[in-house]
Each structure stands twice: as structure tokens, then as C-alpha cells.
Amino acid sequence: MSEATILIVEDEPAIMDMIALTLDHANFDTIAAESAHQAHVAVIDQKPDLILLDWMLPGGSGIELARRLKRDDLTADIPIIMLTAKTSEDNKVQGLNAGVDDYVTKPFSPRELVARIKAVIRRSGGSELDKPLEVFDLRLDPASHQVTIEDQSVEIGPTEFRLLKFFMSHQEKVFSRDNIQDQVWGANVYLDERTIDVHIRRLRQALTSTENSGTNYSKLIQTVRGVGYRFSVKPS
Amino acid sequence: MSEATILIVEDEPAIMDMIALTLDHANFDTIAAESAHQAHVAVIDQKPDLILLDWMLPGGSGIELARRLKRDDLTADIPIIMLTAKTSEDNKVQGLNAGVDDYVTKPFSPRELVARIKAVIRRSGGSELDKPLEVFDLRLDPASHQVTIEDQSVEIGPTEFRLLKFFMSHQEKVFSRDNIQDQVWGANVYLDERTIDVHIRRLRQALTSTENSGTNYSKLIQTVRGVGYRFSVKPS
DNA sequence: CGCTGCCTGTCATGATTTTGTCATATACTG
DNA sequence: CAGTATATGACAAAATCATGACAGGCAGCG
């Protein structure tokens, strides 16, 4: 299995090829994008684990893209490594403000690139993504792939697990069914809209099932009429 | 309300009909164009939200049109989906270079087409206009799609939500009923004028309903006799 | 292989909410 | 006080959602 999927955003074909080859050799999957726009599409479509972003994109939109991605909840936790020709401190400051995770200055050795990528992935992926999510006594642990309420294990299917995980890591925000579909099932999967409803129901059912004392956790999943669903701690 | 307006550029009547029917069924408005020229006119005239463009147009290529639209600032951010018979990678590369947003290769299922359209629209519309709006202790948060008064959630229907959002982002200004209709319901929707009154009432009711201390937020929505309504912080 | 049980996506149906319109009451203007 | 303009309550149609049932896919197992 590949280590991870890396999106490379680079307009210069020669450099692109070089990087792609390097990463390929290091057992990463790569996606290529030549412009900020293409990159944005690829991010949403394929959810790379990391983005290698050239600072100097035509139209100067590299930093713009980074900022946009970091501002959006759905893409904020994808680490970004900037490729830059300049060593100027100015750039670094600007970049860090945009939420970039690391820098590689050209020219760089393949070895350095791979090392930095691994480091960033270790840093972000290792700690963040597998951290257990908790809301009151509801607990979802990605590592053990288990959901518990008051330490009582909850029966839950794979899809409902992913759904709950998505909700718990994006609380207090509405999502349209289309959105949920993209995030939980993946893009280019075509589902009937009502199917989402059914899975919501199954999830609610699972959260209710445990004969727990008092609190009904299914209330955390609120339906927003005409829009979609929301996971919220506040009572509606 | 329709999801969005789609311009279909396709010279084959049979395919055109099929697509139009499909989109119609999915609650999109459609505009038809049989040639690149017609299409260009339609784009400027009616500002569609998305363009479905056939690769193979008689006498002039669809790709030419795509390139032209993407080059012009005024039309550059209208997403384009190409319809193509070939699966060849060549085309995709050429298309992406022209700034096309996605591809659908014939033959395609109606469901796939709709899904891709929605995906593209979602992607492009993702600009951050989602900052919460606040007036005193009245708060409207587009992200969570919630209205609160003193942190107490307010029961409010979808239309009243849109109405309030409109008012809160256009304070201290009178709007005629026609204006409000265009902004909240969308143009080319016919409503009885009195219907606006009813929704205003419902909104006021919602803002009053919470048994809150003192301030009555329904007073923010003021009637301007003979003209329309105004959202104003200043007491009238 | 064939059987069994679980997971999934889809459908049909009934419940609930939302919405546009009317008819009537009330408020404002000159 | 007459003449409009707006507010309000009621209502039926339409939109949207929850739910139960069901069939195909798939893995595990005898």
C-alpha cells in the first residue's frame, strides 16, 4: 500500500516530473495540478493527504490557494508544504500566516523533500486524525474504531461510523446532503438523496439504542429543514 | 426555487432534449444553445450558473468557446463541464488547460450528470460569505444555519431565515416588496404582493417569540408605509 | 458450493412543516 | 371620515422528512 497521496501543484513541467518521480519512488501516490484552480478541484475530489504547493504559480495564486484551503473547515487539516525559490524570511512569515505547515526551498534534494513530507504527515496525521472525539459521554475512537456511550460499546455499522466521525469533527455547522455525500461516501459516488436520510436515521437509532441514563444522544444530530443536517451540542 | 441555471450547448437535438429533461427533473433551469455563437450570447445575456458544453460543435470547436469564456474576466468564473464522446486523455488535458472544470463522457447516466453538476457548483460557490451577522443579541450564523437571541435558539422557517439574512446584511435601507421578492425568492418568481407581508409577519413573530428580557427584536423590521420595509437599528 | 447473516441503497407511505393566498381586522393619511 | 395600506388569523396545497420494509451484495462458515 502506498504511504499517502500527495497533490503536487507546480506549473513547470520539468520540476513537476522530477518531484513526481521522487515521490513515486518513495512509494507515495501522486496527483498533478498545474494551476491553483486545478488544484482546488483535485483537493475536493480526491482528498490528498498532503499538498506540495509551489509558491510561484502563474497569477501569483499559490499563497491565495493555501489561504483558501486553510480557511475552509473541510480542507483545513490537510497539511501543506510550500515550495519556494527564495529563502527570504518575508515569504516564510507570509506563509505561516496562511497556515502552511512547512517549507522546502529550491533547490532541494529528493531526500530532503521526502523527509520533510514524512515529518509533516507524522506530525499532523498521527496525532490529529486518530485522536478520539468526545462529546459528553459519547466517545468515538478512530484508533480502535469504536464508539462508546458511558463506556458502553455502541453497535454501529461502518457507514454510520464514518458519518458520526464526520459529524463529530465538524460540529455546529450545517451540511447539505450533497456535502455529506462527498465527505462520507467520497466524490464521484452517486447516491439517492434520500439514502442519506436513511443513514442518518440508522445513526440516530444507534445513538439511542443503548439504554442509557437520561441523555439521548440522537438529539445531537439535528435536521435543518430545507438544508441538511447538523451536529450540534446546543439544544435546538 | 430552482437549484441553478444551466446553459446547455449541444447541436444534436436528441441529446439536447435528453439533457434538458434530466436537468429539468433535477430542478435546474435550463437554457438551450445550438452553436458556440448562440451560447456566447446566452452567457452574456442570462449569466447561467454553469455551462454544459459539447466538445464536438459544428464549425468551431467547443474548446474554442471554453477558452474564450475563461479568458474573459466577466465570464471566467462560470464553471464549465465538457461533454465528450472520447475518453482519450488528450482531450482532458487540452480541456483542463482551457480551464474546464470537469468532464462527462458520453454515454453518461442522468444521475451522474446531475451529480457532477452539483459537485462543480458546490466547488465554485465556496466563497466565504459565511460570517455570522449580529445586531445586539440577535445573531444569525450562516454556517450553522441558526438564529439565536441571547444564545437562545430561535425557531424560524427557511424563507424567514433567508429574509432575515437579507435584512441583516442590508441594514438601514428600505426595500420595496418587489425588491425583497427578487432578493429573497429570486427573480422570475411571481408572488402575490401580500405574501411578502405575511412572511414579514412570520419573521417578526419569530423574533418576538422567545420570551426574552426587554428588547423586542421585531421592532428592527420597520414598515415604511407606501414603500416597503426596512431593517434598522434605530428606533422609528 | 450453498447457506446465513450483516450491511447498503432504494422505495413507498405516512407524518410534519412550510408556504402562498384569502378574507377580515386594524392602522394610517389627508 | 373616507380611502388606502398593512397586519393578522385561518387554511389547503406543496414540499420535505422519518420510518419501515425489502432485495441485492458480500463475507464467513459449514
pLDDT tens by residue, B212-236: 555 788 899 999 999 999 999 987 6
Q: Which residue is nearest to nucleotide D9 (CA to C1')?
A: B198
At residue B74, φ and ψ (nearest 5 deg) are: -70, -25
Q: What is the pLDDT of residue B29?
A: 82
Would you give the end-to-end CA distance of chain B in angstroms?
Answer: 34
Q: Is the CB of B185 under 7 A from strand C?
A: yes
B76's grid cell: 471566467
In this structure, are residues A29 and A54 in contact, taking their beta carbons and an 8 Å threshold?
no
For chain B, the structural domain boundaries read 5-124, 133-231
At residue B38, φ and ψ (nearest 5 deg) are: -55, -40
Would you give the end-to-end CA distance of chain A in angstroms?
Answer: 44
Rounded Cα distance between A14 and A10, Å, is 9
In this structure, are residues A57 and A11 in contact, taking their beta carbons and an 8 Å threshold?
yes
Closest nt to residue A158, judged CA to C1': C7
At residue A222, φ and ψ (nearest 5 deg) are: -105, 140
Other beta carbons within 10 angstroms of residue B200's beta carbon come to 20
Give yes or no for A172 touching B (CB within 8 A).
yes
Q: What is the pLDDT of residue B40?
A: 87
Please calculate the CA angle A57-A48-A95 and round it to the nearest 5 degrees.
40
A218's grid cell: 440522537
The residue to which cell 423574533 is assigned: B207
User: Closest partner residue to B144 among A174, A188, A225, by Cβ?
Assistant: A174
Strand C contacts in B 60-119 (CB under 7 A): none
Strand C contacts in A 121-140 (CB under 7 A): none
Q: Which residues of A touch B109 (CB under 8 A)?
A: 190
Q: How many CA atoms lie within 13 A of A4 on its CB side?
A: 21
CATH superfamily to which B5-124 belongs: Response regulator (3.40.50.2300)
Q: What is the pLDDT of residue B1?
A: 47
Q: pLDDT tens, position by position, for chain A (236 residues)?
A: 567 889 999 888 888 889 889 988 888 888 888 888 788 878 877 788 899 988 777 766 677 788 788 877 778 888 888 887 765 555 555 555 566 788 787 778 888 888 888 888 877 765 555 778 889 889 999 888 889 988 888 889 999 999 999 999 999 999 999 889 988 988 777 888 899 999 999 999 999 866 655 578 889 999 999 999 999 998 77
Q: Is the CB of B183 under 7 A from strand C?
A: no
Of A3 and B68, the structure prediction assigns the larger pLDDT to B68
The residue to which cell 502563474 is assigned: A58
| Record: fold of A5-129 | Rossmann fold (3.40.50)
Radius of gyration of chain B (CA): 22
Determine the distance from the C-alpha atom of residue B13 to the mean position of all C-alpha atoms in its chain, rounded to a whole number. 27
In this structure, are residues B200 and B229 in contact, taking their beta carbons and an 8 Å threshold?
yes
Whether domain A133-231 has CATH 1.10.10.10: the reply is yes
Q: What is the pLDDT of residue B127?
A: 47
Q: Give the pLDDT band of residue B129 (cuts 50, 70, 90).
A: low
Q: What is the pLDDT of residue B72?
A: 76
Q: What is the pLDDT of residue A189?
A: 78
Nucleotide D1 C1' to residue B230 CA (A): 30
Q: Above 90 in pLDDT, residue B69?
A: no
Q: Give the pLDDT band of residue B46 (cuts 50, 70, 90).
A: confident
At residue A28, φ and ψ (nearest 5 deg) are: -100, 150
Give yes or no for B3 touching A (CB within 8 A).
no
User: Closest partner residue to B123 among A41, A174, A224, by Cβ?
Assistant: A41
User: Closest partner residue to A226 among B115, B153, B158, by Cβ?
Assistant: B158
Closest nt to residue A222, judged CA to C1': D17
Closest nt to residue A204, judged CA to C1': D18
